[in-house]
């Protein structure tokens, strides 16, 4: 049975620049997703229906999207892009670096993180309409779940929300005051990256199903039972015996007949082929979402250098995602906050913290000291301003070490024989003393 949202309820919304306006909730019939098996042949019909210029209907396409979002690899790569945004600290500040206190409380809520997730998920879906009407933005502590309008009921090409997906008339959400109560994200005719991933995921799903059948036939031993066709009841007895003997596959054949499985042992009939095909499908999805494959899977020889290249591409994609989110927050969300009652003056804007600002003080100091020691000297003024420390003096020159006191040079004592030989240059008294000393040197020791 169709599930309805709350009936139209009048909500008074007050804006500083507007008179009091009567606002009504949307009334749509939300039906459960069609979870029947999806085939590759349904893709083209879904695209034609979504791109119709008369009555665009994305229901079939979105139900296909819901099916492939169950794929683990697609979940992994899409989460990687989402986390690159939600795990980066964000602030709302002016040019002086002064943060808006109430907006800061809003940022520090689960609701705001879900808002960022919905914005970045638009890359996959193409378009998202976020419900701000039911959120009490002035009380961040009361916020719970950030809700979106069911995409099957949103027709971006017509800027309306319909009661059922099949209708082509409905509620216009771009007219005042609803343009500040519903946050539209994305391009009107964009069907998202999921459209390009769709055939690869469906092909992989079919491939894995065939692989499972292959393993069931050739991966487990099976039993062959033969019976005498001339004996009544022999086949039934054999079948009962095989069923009671276990759950492995069995064959029941009459005597004189046989079934032969001809397995292709070449490159086209072994289990490795299924694995290669699955990897090919996953690689295409990784390239589509992250720009490469080596940041999610291990490569072959030389993959280290290629992985660095893929990581650089992935970082550029993450930077583009952050810019996309900032454009939505600054151009659409800030006006919506002002409409809700936030006093946000001109000059305040959302921005992601730089990578350096997200490092701890200890990590920043360690990096600065390494530069100071190994690259070039950094003036003390830099450390004083950045870390709030006070130095005894402002002298940036290294202290000169005091030279060690020089020891007096001792005169070399010449051998006494040399003193005697040089006696000609000495006075008479010196010559006598030298002769006297040389005499004792030559005396035998007792």
Tell whether the torsion through CA atoms of 259, 260, 261 and 262 is positive or negative.
Answer: negative
Query: What does the pLDDT average to over 93-122?
Result: 96
Q: How far apart are CA 244 and CA 310, in angstroms?
A: 56
On whether both 131 and 258 belong to a single domain, the answer is no
Residue 374: pLDDT above 80? no
Residue span of the structural domain in which 381 resides: 359-390
pLDDT digits (tens, 9 = 90+) for 392-437: 776 766 655 555 666 555 555 555 544 444 545 455 445 544 554 4
Determine contact, residues 281/203, Cβ cutoff 8 Å. Answer: yes
Tell me, yes or no, whether 81 lies in a domain.
yes
Q: How far apart are CA 337 and CA 258, in angstroms?
A: 77
On whether both 220 and 184 belong to a single domain, the answer is no
On whether both 106 and 163 belong to a single domain, the answer is yes
End-to-end CA distance of the chain: 131
On whether both 122 and 253 belong to a single domain, the answer is no
Tell me, yes or no, whether 240 lies in a domain.
yes
pLDDT digits (tens, 9 = 90+) for 216-256: 777 777 788 888 888 888 889 888 888 888 777 778 888 88
Residue with tokens 């001792």: 410
On whether both 147 and 89 belong to a single domain, the answer is yes
On whether both 254 and 378 belong to a single domain, the answer is no
Residue 4: pLDDT above 80? no
On whether both 44 and 171 belong to a single domain, the answer is yes
* Cis bond upstream, residue 177 (ω within 30): yes
Q: What mean pLDDT value characterizes the chain?
A: 80
Closest CA to 145 of 176, 120, 110: 110
State the pTM of this model: 0.69
Which pair of structure tokens corresponds to residue 49? 């229906």
Tell me, yes or no, whether 410 lies in a domain.
no
HSE-up (13 A, CA, CB side) for residue 257: 10
On whether both 177 and 232 belong to a single domain, the answer is no
pLDDT digits (tens, 9 = 90+) for 245-296: 877 777 888 888 877 776 666 555 577 889 999 999 999 999 999 987 765 5
Of 1 and 376, which is predicted with more confidence? 376
Determine contact, residues 349/355, Cβ cutoff 8 Å. Answer: no
Tell me, yes or no, whether 446 lies in a domain.
no
Altogether, the residues listed in the chain come to a count of 446
On whether both 11 and 57 belong to a single domain, the answer is yes
Measured in whole angstroms, the distance separating CA 402 from the mean position of its chain's CA atoms is: 56
On whether both 102 and 183 belong to a single domain, the answer is yes
Name, of 6-10, 63-67, 134-138, 266-270, the range with top average pLDDT. Answer: 63-67
Q: Give per-residue burial for 383-417: e unless 16+ CB within 10 Å, then b.
A: beeeeeeeeeeeeeeeeeeeeeeeeeeeeeeeeee
> Which pLDDT belongs to residue 398?
60
| Count of structural domains within the chain | 3
Residue 446: pLDDT above 90? no
Tell me, yes or no, whether 436 lies in a domain.
no
pLDDT digits (tens, 9 = 90+) for 115-160: 999 999 999 999 999 999 989 999 999 999 999 999 999 999 999 9
Q: How far apart are CA 420 and CA 107, in angstroms?
A: 99
Tell me, yes or no, whether 108 lies in a domain.
yes
């Amino acid at each position: 049975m169709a599930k309805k949202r709350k009936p139209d309820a009048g909500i008074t919304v007050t804006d500083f620049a507007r008179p009091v306006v009567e606002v009504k909730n949307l009334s749509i019939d939300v039906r459960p997703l069609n979870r029947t098996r999806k085939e590759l042949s349904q893709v083209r019909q879904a695209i034609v229906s979504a791109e119709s210029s008369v009555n665009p209907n994305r229901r079939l396409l979105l139900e296909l999207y819901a099916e492939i979002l169950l794929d683990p690899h697609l979940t992994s790569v899409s989460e990687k892009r989402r986390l690159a945004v939600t795990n980066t600290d964000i602030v709302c500040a002016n040019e002086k670096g002064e943060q808006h206190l109430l907006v800061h409380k809003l940022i520090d809520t689960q609701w705001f993180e879900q808002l960022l997730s919905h914005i970045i998920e638009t890359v996959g879906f193409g378009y998202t309409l976020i419900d701000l009407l039911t959120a009490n933005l002035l009380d961040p502590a009361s916020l719970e779940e950030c809700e979106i309008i069911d995409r099957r009921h949103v027709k971006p090409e017509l800027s309306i929300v319909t009661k059922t997906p099949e209708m082509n008339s409905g509620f216009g959400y771009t007219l005042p005051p609803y343009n500040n109560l519903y946050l539209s994200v994305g391009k009107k005719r964009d069907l998202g990256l999921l459209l390009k991933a769709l055939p690869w995921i469906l092909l992989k799903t079919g491939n894995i199903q065939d692989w499972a059948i292959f393993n069931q036939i050739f991966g487990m031993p099976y039993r062959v039972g033969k019976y005498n066709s001339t004996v009544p009841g022999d086949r039934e007895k054999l079948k009962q015996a095989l069923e009671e003997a276990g759950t492995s596959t069995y064959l029941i054949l009459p005597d004189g007949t046989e079934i032969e499985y001809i397995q292709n042992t070449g490159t086209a009939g072994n289990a490795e082929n299924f694995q290669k095909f699955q990897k090919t499908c996953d690689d295409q999805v990784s390239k589509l979402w992250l720009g490469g494959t080596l940041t999610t899977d291990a490569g072959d020889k030389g993959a280290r250098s290629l992985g660095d290249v893929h990581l650089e591409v992935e970082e550029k994609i993450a930077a583009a995602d952050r810019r996309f989110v900032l454009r939505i927050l600054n151009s659409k969300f800030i006006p919506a906050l002002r409409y809700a009652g936030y006093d946000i003056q001109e000059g305040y804007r959302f921005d992601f913290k730089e990578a350096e600002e997200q490092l701890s003080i200890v990590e920043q100091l360690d990096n600065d000291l390494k530069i100071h020691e190994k690259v070039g000297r950094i003036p003390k003024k830099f450390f004083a301003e950045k870390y709030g420390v006070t130095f005894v003096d402002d002298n940036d020159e290294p202290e000169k070490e005091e030279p060690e006191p020089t020891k007096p040079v001792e005169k070399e004592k010449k051998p006494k024989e040399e003193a005697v030989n040089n006696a000609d240059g000495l006075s008479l008294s010196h010559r006598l003393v030298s002769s006297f000393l040389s005499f004792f040197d030559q005396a035998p020791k007792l």
